Structure 1
Amino acid sequence: MSSTADLTSADLNEIRQSALGAADPLGVAADLADAARAGRLADPQDAGLALTLAAEIAESRSKLDAALRYVDGALEAFGERDDSAAASARALRARVLYRTGRGDEASAEVEPLRPLLTRYTDAAAYVTAALVVGGRAVEAEKWLTEAVQEVLAERGATEPADADDAGVLFFLLQQRHRLRHALGRQHDTHDNLAERLETRLAGAGSAATTVDLVFLAGPEFDRLVKQTEAYGATWDDHRAGLERELVRLAGTGRADLVLFPGTADGFTGDPASAEDRAAYARKLSTGSARLPWPPERNGACWCGSGLKYKKCCLPRSRG
């Protein structure tokens, strides 16, 4: 990252997508913080965003003191702003505090954000992640349930007709659905609605996250690519797409990310069909087979290539 050129909002978005694949992510975080503090941002209003990103990078490398320092700087930069970015930063601060064992402070930070779940989807993701990290997953489920019920009440309980109409409701339903699966809950009416919308929106080109996180090992990919290139034109494309999606999700505050290993024989239906791919992803997500992400930089890559992560898929997020 340049030490002299002003960083634009587009630059920050690009860094968010690629930072975890950088050779020195902590150096990237330090550069972002320096750019914010030295006024090297094209838009001074981006200072809070740059420092929040620096905090996320530091947290991902378990540098919690640095993460807290950066996120405190972000909140100072945001000042009195009451928007999604500021709310996300406050939730991120709570998450870092939970990880440092300062649970009371973390809870005091996250509790006021509860009403914002129905306003800002990004903030909702950060709030949920903070509660889960703090051992409050059951409360997170309750918060999401009440948020879903509030949005449904405002809609008159009508189901979205398309992707544009789905908005915050679909996001909240999916957040809740994933959390309930992790808690081992039985499906309820909201879970059923989440799956109906997922199938409907997948057919409209808005496949759910689980579709994007189906991983096919080399031989399995080679068998399915003969029928469709929906999972990538090549195995390298397939792995790069997964790595970029995981980095993107991590940047929204998602924790405990996993991939779902798939097989050609296990796929029933037409792999070229978005609806069938969504159904297959749902099936995989209910099973026990999953690959945690990210591995350690010097650990074995998640794709099974036998190479170290830093020499295999980690750099693919920059492609």
Structure 2
Amino acid sequence: MQTRNVLTSADLEDLRRSALGMADPLGVAADLAEAVDEGRLAEQADAGFALTLAAEIAEVRSRLDAALQYAERAVAAYPEEDAPGFGFASALRARILFRLGGRDDEAMAAVTALRPLLTEQPDAPAYVSAALDAGGRTATAEEWLSEAADTLLGDRADSAEVGSTEAPGVAFFLLQQRHRVRRDLNLPHDRQDDLADRLEARLTQRGDDRSPSEADLLFFPKAEFDRLDPALAETFGADWDEHRARLERHLVRQAGPGLSVLRASAEGLTGYARGREGDPTDHDIQARYAQELSAQPGAHIPWPPERNAACWCGSGLKYKKDCLPRSRS
């Protein structure tokens, strides 16, 4: 797909949801960078977002040199370090540096600079942890998250007031990410883990006990689905049509505000399992991978779209002509 026209913020969001399922995602990444160079963004403030998306695509495709170039341009495109998106772009750059090898000191310096955001931005615990995990520093992530939780909560870890507002905030996401990291490290439950469980249960109850299992919401775009191990067919569907039909039926059953599917990748699932010495067919591994994705705002594909809007699956067809009828198949 060529993106030669002027790109709006909505276009970029659509590409974020669908690019990995296209025939030439690396071409999309290159086109995004060209759109920035050629001034083809409706809002020039979206330059950092467009370049970050290009870097994410290239990283998933293991084109790390290109991913780093895009990520460095993305970081430079943000006018201020406190601008929305700057933290994620910086953490993505650090993650790529770790994966490239030989630049660990540079990567560590970049991610260390983001440490104050752990108590300020809801998505910071996820992207900081992901960067450290890429560098084999999961224990450091646990240390940082624990210190941030202590700073944010003080002596309130047993208090009912924590997370008592309607919308989950910084404390909720910080505790949930800390809980996941500690579970990956096989650390014993502590009082902040207990609080994370209580807050998650409370949020589920607000949803009238209808919150779907995150593992059931893993969505693999067409190109990613085709890369899945055949042993996963029983879980995710024998083909992509069945995969989408299962998801659509599940979403219809759970229908409620704020639902989304989680954009996954075959390499992401197998890599997550490998890093935990687990099996990608293990439902617990799938659930934990889904939980990791759920903490990343960019992984969420909102559902449902309008009937005449592009389908959530990235096929390019209208929702009413594609996945909506699958709920009845």
State the 1:209 CA deviation: 9.3
User: Of residues 185, 199, 202 in structure 1, which corresponds to 2:201?
Assistant: 199
- For residues 79 and 209 of structure 1, what CA distance do their matches in structure 2 show? 38
Q: Which residue of 2 aligns with 1:212?
A: 214
State the 1:185 CA deviation: 1.3
Letter in 1 for 2:109: A
The answer to whether residue 12 in structure 2 is matched with residue 12 in structure 1 is yes
Q: Is the 8 A contact 1:114 1:143 kept in 2?
A: yes
Q: Which residue of 2 aligns with 1:25?
A: 25
User: Of residues 189, 192, 197 in structure 2, which corresponds to 1:190?
Assistant: 192
- For residues 80 and 234 of structure 1, what CA distance do their matches in structure 2 show? 43
Cα-Cα RMSD: 3.9
- For residues 208 and 7 of structure 2, what CA distance do their matches in structure 1 show? 31
- For residues 83 and 207 of structure 1, what CA distance do their matches in structure 2 show? 36
- For residues 24 and 130 of structure 1, what CA distance do their matches in structure 2 show? 26
Q: Which residue of 2 aligns with 1:163?
A: 166
Residue-pair matches, total: 261
> Structure 1's 167 and 248: CA in aligned 2 closer, same or farther, altered over 3 A?
farther
Q: Which residue of 2 aligns with 1:177?
A: 179
The answer to whether residue 261 in structure 2 is matched with residue 245 in structure 1 is yes
Per-residue deviation, residues 40-71 of structure 1 (Å, max 9, x unmatched): 00000000110011001100011000001101
- For residues 139 and 165 of structure 2, what CA distance do their matches in structure 1 show? 30
> Structure 1's 239 and 105: CA in aligned 2 closer, same or farther, altered over 3 A?
farther
- For residues 195 and 94 of structure 1, what CA distance do their matches in structure 2 show? 30
> Structure 1's 176 and 15: CA in aligned 2 closer, same or farther, altered over 3 A?
same
> Structure 1's 208 and 77: CA in aligned 2 closer, same or farther, altered over 3 A?
farther
Letter in 2 for 1:200: R
Aligned ranges for residues 248-287 of structure 1 at < 5 Å? 285=284
- For residues 255 and 179 of structure 1, what CA distance do their matches in structure 2 show? 18
- For residues 249 and 272 of structure 2, what CA distance do their matches in structure 1 show? 17
- For residues 287 and 162 of structure 2, what CA distance do their matches in structure 1 show? 31
State the 1:179 CA deviation: 1.0
The answer to whether residue 91 in structure 2 is matched with residue 91 in structure 1 is yes
Where in structure 2 are there 5+ consecutive unaligned residues?
Answer: 219-231, 237-242, 253-259, 274-278, 291-311, 316-322, 324-329
- For residues 286 and 120 of structure 2, what CA distance do their matches in structure 1 show? 34
Where in structure 1 are there 5+ consecutive unaligned residues?
Answer: 222-231, 263-283, 294-314
Per-residue deviation, residues 261-285 of structure 1 (Å, max 9, x unmatched): 79xxxxxxxxxxxxxxxxxxxxx64
Q: Which residue of 2 aligns with 1:150?
A: 151
Letter in 2 for 1:161: S
- For residues 220 and 214 of structure 1, what CA distance do their matches in structure 2 show? 9
> Structure 1's 160 and 249: CA in aligned 2 closer, same or farther, altered over 3 A?
farther
- For residues 210 and 131 of structure 2, what CA distance do their matches in structure 1 show? 22
TM-score, normalised via structure 2 length:
0.68
> Structure 1's 317 and 261: CA in aligned 2 closer, same or farther, altered over 3 A?
farther
Letter in 2 for 1:44: Q
SS across alignment from 1:159: coil
TM-score, normalised via structure 1 length:
0.70
- For residues 36 and 183 of structure 1, what CA distance do their matches in structure 2 show? 41
- For residues 150 and 108 of structure 2, what CA distance do their matches in structure 1 show? 23
Letter in 2 for 1:37: D
SS across alignment from 1:23: coil
Identity score, percent? 47
- For residues 147 and 25 of structure 2, what CA distance do their matches in structure 1 show? 38
Q: Which residue of 2 aligns with 1:134?
A: 135
Q: Is the 8 A contact 2:95 2:135 kept in 1?
A: yes
Q: Which residue of 2 aligns with 1:308?
A: none
Q: Is the 8 A contact 1:261 1:290 kept in 2?
A: no
Q: Is the 8 A contact 2:179 2:193 kept in 1?
A: yes
> Structure 1's 183 and 209: CA in aligned 2 closer, same or farther, altered over 3 A?
farther
- For residues 218 and 97 of structure 1, what CA distance do their matches in structure 2 show? 34
Q: Is the 8 A contact 1:163 1:206 kept in 2?
A: no
- For residues 313 and 109 of structure 2, what CA distance do their matches in structure 1 show? 39
The answer to whether residue 126 in structure 2 is matched with residue 125 in structure 1 is yes
> Structure 1's 123 and 254: CA in aligned 2 closer, same or farther, altered over 3 A?
farther
> Structure 1's 191 and 291: CA in aligned 2 closer, same or farther, altered over 3 A?
closer
Q: Is the 8 A contact 1:58 1:64 kept in 2?
A: yes
Q: Which residue of 2 aligns with 1:69?
A: 69
